[in-house]
Chain A
């Protein structure tokens, strides 16, 4: 078995200058990386009795890389969809998916210009916080194994973003996460990067129950603009909290549900630290995020971040 590295492609090495593949340029390095990853995934997914887990992992990893690159504008959605479909075809051909899953679609003749907005760091940090939220939903004894899975899962998007951007920055956040997991006792190997205190503190929380049934008891009206996401002005309408939940209600000027991309939110306050949660419910022009842990006492300020793809809107509010 051979392994392809993310940066082997001539585009990634900066060696395609006007030449080898003619029309190629840096803006297609995301697609170039996905094709290398495709080859890697197919090489992994042979039709062997014990190959199913590897095939599923390859498929999951490929989708994660596609998601990351689409979010940052590194590859056009139509290209990512086509390549995901082709990988599923290859898996069906090797018995890992039913023949009915075979698409047989032709590769797009062209892709619309990529709508590149935001930054890889914004997307990756939101993704890390989403994983942190999943981790603290688990019983403490299971978190160590899940932490290793988290690092493994995030390594694929980080590699894709690194290959796409040509910079080494994407890995820094992952190293910060690894150090934070180590500082929280969930990973054995700290990296040279310092841990992030808010993440460590969050990871040390006891297992948190879902907040679906929790109702906030204190509400503060804010109506503060936070920035622009998906082309819409974003306003934080209010925050509310109880001992179990922190709720953030965000309005998008002129936009109606559903949200065009997955929105995520997180809050950091100086008393309880990080509050995180899964994507919120949307109705009308509002999106409501329900985050945990809750607040035992009122915090003097809150730093609220809302992320859509790779775009982030931040605002700090005084309560």
Chain B
């Protein structure tokens, strides 16, 4: 996301209902924040809860969310495009976390319990959690130690998620199956850079260096391709219109031979049925 637009802009709200203190409460994700509306002063309640007794379920969820909102492992674990049935059922995880939370739990037990609870939320909520993780990941990409620990994971994740779209983008130049496509994260501070060159008489080779933020800005929002056009970046959001300002990929002949990808500005609009289309 560009500097002027926060990572959560344009994302619809998501919510989960919980049984909390004998009532039905709603925990809502809104504009990058997770909120327990039924608890006016969540911090004060949490502090009181820490003095003894079980914390309210809403605040317990907020605490778990906060602890895991930078867990890079979720990028590898959570669902891929077209996967509708990923996640645990709440009833499955309840007995597994009953004795694995609270002050007596080890950090590993606490973490496992956190993830079990979070991965049993409605998929739309976990999608938002993943967005937060990806935003944190992009921020930390310049950190050498972070890249040393998670660079290979994120490189493979980016490749697996971007290469299908890149392969179809390459079909603007050659017939399907005639392109060898590779995608890697761009080095910290460098811009997205995609080139293509001939590789044999009928084949081309496409090398793409995508900014890591592509995962959160584009892929996680489900806008990798809109009407057959690959989206390179999201530049802004118009929440009222349910629209995003984006850069679409287009090929230009490169001066030294081959092709280079250029960005073409466009607006895309969310459709009532959930898809996206180019604004006319």
When each residue 60-84 of chain B gets 1 if its CB lies under 8 Å from chain A and 0 otherwise, what string results? Answer: 0000000000011100111010110
**Cα–Cα distance between A20 and B112 once the two chains are bound (Å):** 32
The closest CB in chain B to the CB of A79 belongs to: B152
- Given A90-B76, A102-B112, A104-B116: A39 in contact with B160 (beta carbons within 8 A): yes
Main secondary structure of the interface of B (DSSP, over half): helix
| B contact residues around A21 at 8 Å (CB) | 147, 151-152, 155, 184-185
Contact status B88-A20, CB under 8 Å: no
| A contact residues around B152 at 8 Å (CB) | 9, 11, 21, 24, 28, 31-32, 35
**Cα–Cα distance between A95 and B84 once the two chains are bound (Å):** 12
Partner among B112, B153, B163, B207 whose Cβ is within 8 Å of the Cβ of A35: B153
Contact status A23-B116, CB under 8 Å: no
Partner among B72, B116, B151, B182 whose Cβ is within 8 Å of the Cβ of A24: B151
When each residue 23-44 of chain B gets 1 if its CB lies under 8 Å from chain A and 0 otherwise, what string results? Answer: 0000000000000000000000
When each residue 159-181 of chain B gets 1 if its CB lies under 8 Å from chain A and 0 otherwise, what string results? Answer: 11001100100000000000000
| B contact residues around A109 at 8 Å (CB) | 149
- Given A42-B80, A93-B77: A36 in contact with B159 (beta carbons within 8 A): yes
**Cα–Cα distance between A10 and B184 once the two chains are bound (Å):** 7
Query: Which chain A residues in 66-114 approach chain B with CB under 8 Å?
Result: 86, 89-90, 92-95, 99-100, 102-110
| A contact residues around B155 at 8 Å (CB) | 9-10, 20-21, 32, 35
| B contact residues around A95 at 8 Å (CB) | 85
| A contact residues around B164 at 8 Å (CB) | 2
Q: Does A205 contact B (CB under 8 A)?
A: no
Contact status B108-A47, CB under 8 Å: no
Contact status A22-B160, CB under 8 Å: no
Given A90-B76, A104-B116, 17 more pairs with CB closer than 8 A: A2-B163, A2-B164, A4-B160, A8-B163, A15-B184, A22-B144, A23-B144, A32-B156, A46-B83, A46-B85, A86-B76, A89-B73, A95-B85, A99-B93, A102-B115, A107-B150, A110-B149
Which 5 A-B residue pairs are closest in the complex by CB-CB distance?
A104-B112, A35-B156, A23-B148, A39-B160, A21-B151
User: Which residue numbers of B lie inside 8 Å of A, CB to CB?
Assistant: 71-73, 76-78, 80, 82-83, 85-88, 92-93, 96, 108, 111-116, 119, 144, 147-153, 155-157, 159-160, 163-164, 167, 182, 184-188, 207, 209
- Supply 10 A–B pairs (Cβ within 8 Å), ascending by A: A4-B163, A9-B159, A10-B155, A16-B184, A47-B83, A93-B86, A93-B87, A94-B86, A95-B85, A102-B96
